[in-house]
Chains A and B, each alone.
Chain A
Amino acid sequence: MKEKNEKNRTNPVGAFFFSIGAFLKEFVTAVADGDAGVKASLVICGAGYLKRKQIIKGILVTLLELAVILYMAFIGAPFLEKFGTLGTVQQAMVYNPTTMKNEVNDYDNSLMILMFGVISLVVLILAVILWMVNVVNNYKLQKRAEAGKHINSFKEDINRMLNEKFHVTLLALPVAGITIFTVFPLIVMIAIAFTNYDQNHMPPTALFTWVGMTNFKSLFTTNLTMTFGYTFRKVLCWTLLWAVLATFTTYIGGILLALLINSKFAKVKKFWRTVFVAAISVPQFVTLLLLRNFFANTGIANTFCANIGLTDLLKKLGLITTNYIPFLTDPVWAKITIVVINIWVGVPYLMLIATGVLMNIPEELKESARIDGANPFQIFRKITMPYMLFITGPYLVTQFTANINNFNVIYLLTQDIYTTTDQKLAASNGKEIDLLVTWLFRLTNEFYNYKMAAVIAIFVFIICAVFTLIAFNFLIKGDKEETFQ
């Protein structure tokens, strides 16, 4: 029955509004038809529970209500009041006649106002929703009592948390963590995209304020003073190319390596696996910084290439103009080097994952295929590969977006080494080899241009979102989940 319902509402947006409507209706009925306990729960949230002898639950709910009210009154309200302007009083030294000294005035900190404003808004919205849910629950309890059904004791409620409601127990902490450390910061950063928070407007000494869509326009503007449009286009193209190259080279490489190691012809499998794992057992930043020096213009790779005559050969072919191979300093060479090094970094990880998956393929499946006369290649194509794609499909999608956001490889290999000669790029602090993320990281970390960084981040999100939506529709259609179970 439930399954059918889920299928009927194919349009998620429609389903969303439908469920909101249904909930509102429930709430109105609860208020209208509720007894004294339910009506009292409009003011004192635990009232309905207390009336039905659910003492502990009633007290807990009421305490939570009290905490929210106190927070809103003493912390939330003052910040929300200034949320529209993000503060008006700039920091200044003011002469204090009582202490006869210059003191810092009672200034507004725009960032604090923004952060606490967002927190308070979220708390307010959640509180209203919980309040409504609570009233509905009180009403349901009343109905149960009237029907003479069993009313759960506190202990039974706890037990339910380990059984049919076990998902609530499992998800509570992780979701809380995600809310605090991902959702909330993201909301604040998105808000910053609509402000003028940059080097000239740094709290606490200066204020920043709302500027509407100005920053979004800047990102597409290329003129004498502003080159963000040019840089954005260049960086975007390289980011997409990089993500495709990096994802597929490591994925295919990793699977091939895993198949090679696990093939029946390979001896000492464990040894080979350990060798490749040794390569990733050293933290990435160590190996990448090492490789950066390995491939430096005066580095050992160049010495080697010069010794075997490769440098001269490339020079004769006109592929380089310098006396060394600019592995990490020339736009084209650097891009190739980065992709190759990324294969080196990524393939062992993929090999590990692919090995885990390969070993999990039920032997019976392959066995029966073999009995039916399938050759190894057919087994690979019909059984191994679909199984692999099913398990690693989500991983492949996340890997693609992870590569769009692949900060480590690019940053560690090129930071302090690569300088751009393109004036237009330099004017907006970009480089040819920059991904959108390294560009925005430099904007925040070195140039405190938070507003533009936030705008770029939103575009990174849009790109990833569009891609993921398409990919997930192909890869993990909801029903496929059960196929292998």
Chain B
Amino acid sequence: MGKKRVINTILVQVILAVLAVIWLIPIVWLVVTSFSGTDGMNTSRFFPETWSLRNYTRLLAEPDTVAQFPKWFMNTFIIAVFNCIISTAFVLMVSYAMSCMRFKGRKALMNMAVILQLFPAFLSMIVIYFILKAVNLTNSHIGMILVYSGSAGLGYLVAKGFFDTIPKSLREAAYIEGASEARTFFTIVLPLSKPIIVYTIISSFLVPWTDFVFAKIILNSGVSTDWTVAIGLYNMLQKNLLPHYFTRFCAGGVLVGIPISILFVIMQKFYVEGITGGSVKG
């Protein structure tokens, strides 16, 4: 029995190690290339020939017309924080209403939401662009925040699925003790929903860092200081810019990955505990 366990453990560890290496190859390549002493892409060697911090110093301290990294970073960060707050609030609000409350038109609204999500989202971008232009919000942070968080309520399904697993008895106990619906939401359901809140926060925080299609359409002034990280870095890989900026692009990618990784490490502990397992006893 003990021997079988050891073999199994080794087997699982080896499989995980092999998978981990596969998953990390591009990331390692990104990191090592960001420390390369040359500007362009090295196609013959995995590791760079010369090592240097030049890409980082130039990216952070010497912005030029193409690379305005510190500015992009701040722009994206501000947009991400506000989007995160609004989106998470919207998603949790809709999820609670749809999962824990019963009211006329609930099913109809849920069906509507399903139908709306079936349309290719960025097609409506062109129309949204004209709306924002009409109220003079193109090329602005507020415009971007509105675009990212405006429809966030539609992404409620995963959180609703989670709320559905929270035992009804918990909420009923609260009602019996005279808690209002609002109080139940804030003091009973939300504290039990940390994993899904974390999931929602992470995914909404990631949106502005990863999206470049919407950003490109809305932030179309061509002024590189207006951009988010995504458009800025994407722009660096244009055919004529790639030989000069590829390693700086990698440095930028590393710097963008850092806040997101940190955020996740902070949040990760919330995944660890089973939530509903401990809360209803007897």
Which of A127-135, A274-282, A331-339, A377-385 has 4 or more CB atoms under 8 Å from chain B? A274-282
Inter-subunit contact A182/B131 (CB<8 Å): no
CA distance A457 to B123 in the complex (A): 7
Most buried by B among A112, A272, A454: A272
Q: Indicate which residue in A353, A362, A416 contacts B158 across the interface (CB closer than 8 Å).
A: A353
Q: Any chain B CB within 8 A of the CB of A163?
A: yes
Contact A177 B149 (CB under 8 A): yes
Does more than half of chain B's interface fall in helix, strand or loop, or is it mixed?
Answer: helix
Contact between chains at A278 and B24 (CB < 8 Å): yes
Is the pair B151, A178 in contact by a Cβ cutoff of 8 Å?
Answer: yes
Name the A residues within 8 Å of B196 (CB-CB). 356
Contact present for A266 and B261 (CB under 8 Å): no
Give residues 353-389 of A contacting B (CB, 8 Å). Answer: 353, 355-356, 359-364
Instruction: Give CA–CA (A250, B52) in the complex, Å.
Output: 37
Given contacts A163-B182, A440-B120, contact A360 B30 (CB under 8 A): no
Residues of A255-292 at the interface with B, using a CB-CB cut-off of 8 Å, are 257, 260-261, 263, 265-267, 270, 272-279, 281-287, 289-291
For the complex, is B187 an interface residue (Cβ under 8 Å from A)?
A: no
What are 8 inter-chain pairs, A to B, with CB distance below 8 A?
A: A163-B181, A174-B152, A181-B147, A281-B261, A283-B253, A407-B122, A436-B120, A484-B164
Q: How far is the CA of A353 from the CA of B195 in the complex (A)?
A: 10
| Complex contact A279–B268 (CB within 8 A) | no
A91 close to chain B: CB less than 8 A = no
Q: Is the CB of A299 within 8 A of B43?
A: yes
Does A171 sit at the interface, judged by CB under 8 A? Answer: yes
Total count of chain A residues near the partner, CB < 8 A: 107
- With A282-B257, A356-B195 known as contacts, the answer to whether A395 contacts B157 (CB < 8 A) is yes
Is the CB–CB distance between B277 and A356 below 8 Å? Answer: no
Asked whether, in the complex, the Cβ of A391 is within 8 Å of the Cβ of B24, the reply is no
A175 in the interface (beta carbon within 8 A):
yes
Question: With contacts A115-B127, A360-B162, A461-B120 known, what are 8 further pairs, Cβ within 8 A?
Answer: A111-B130, A166-B97, A181-B147, A300-B42, A348-B23, A359-B272, A360-B275, A444-B123
A11 CB contacts on chain B under 8 angstroms:
none
- B30/A180 in contact, CB under 8 A: no
A288 to B130, CA, bound (A): 30
Q: Interface on B for A, CB 8 Å cutoff?
A: 5, 8-9, 11-13, 15-16, 19-20, 22-24, 26-27, 29-30, 41-46, 90, 93-94, 96-97, 101, 103, 106-107, 109, 111, 113-128, 130-131, 146-147, 149-154, 157-158, 160-162, 164-168, 180-182, 185, 195-196, 199, 206, 209-210, 212-213, 229-230, 233-234, 237, 239, 242, 246, 249-250, 252-254, 256-257, 260-261, 264-265, 268, 271-277
CA of A359 to CA of B196, assembled, Å: 12
A29 in the interface, Cβ–Cβ < 8 Å?
A: no
Q: Report yes or no: A115 in contact with B131, Cβ–Cβ below 8 A.
A: yes
A184 proximal to B (CB < 8 A): yes
List the interface of chain A (C-beta within 8 A of B). Answer: 6, 12, 111-112, 115, 162-164, 166-167, 169-171, 173-175, 177-178, 180-186, 188-189, 257, 260-261, 263, 265-267, 270, 272-279, 281-287, 289-291, 293-294, 296, 298-300, 302-304, 344, 348, 352-353, 355-356, 359-364, 390-395, 398, 401, 405, 407-408, 411, 416, 436-437, 440-441, 444, 450, 453-454, 457, 460-461, 464-465, 468, 472, 478, 481-482, 484-485
Contact A186 B124 (CB under 8 A): yes
The contact of B234 among A279, A285, A398, by CB within 8 Å, is A285
Partner of A394, one of B24, B161, B274: B161
Please give, as numbers and ranges, the residues of chain B lying within 8 Å of A182 by CB-CB distance. Answer: 116, 119, 121, 124, 150-151, 154
Tell me, in angstroms, the Cα distance from A281 to B261 when the chains sit together. Answer: 6
Contacts of A6 in B (CB 8 A): 107
Question: Does B97 lie within 8 Å of A272, measured CB to CB?
Answer: no
A352-B161 in contact (CB<8A):
no
Assuming A181-B147, A182-B116, A186-B119, is B107 touching A282 (CB within 8 A)?
no
Closest chain A residue, CB of each to CB of B209: A283
Contact of A478 among B107, B116, B146 (CB under 8 A): B107
Quick one: closest A residue to B162, CB to CB? A391
Cβ–Cβ contact A289 & B147, under 8 A:
no
Kindly provide the distance from the CB of B9 to the nearest chain A CB, expressed in whole angstroms.
Answer: 5
Which B residues are in CB contact (< 8 Å) with A392?
161
A450 touching B126 in the complex, CB below 8 Å, given contacts A289-B234, A360-B195, A360-B274 = yes
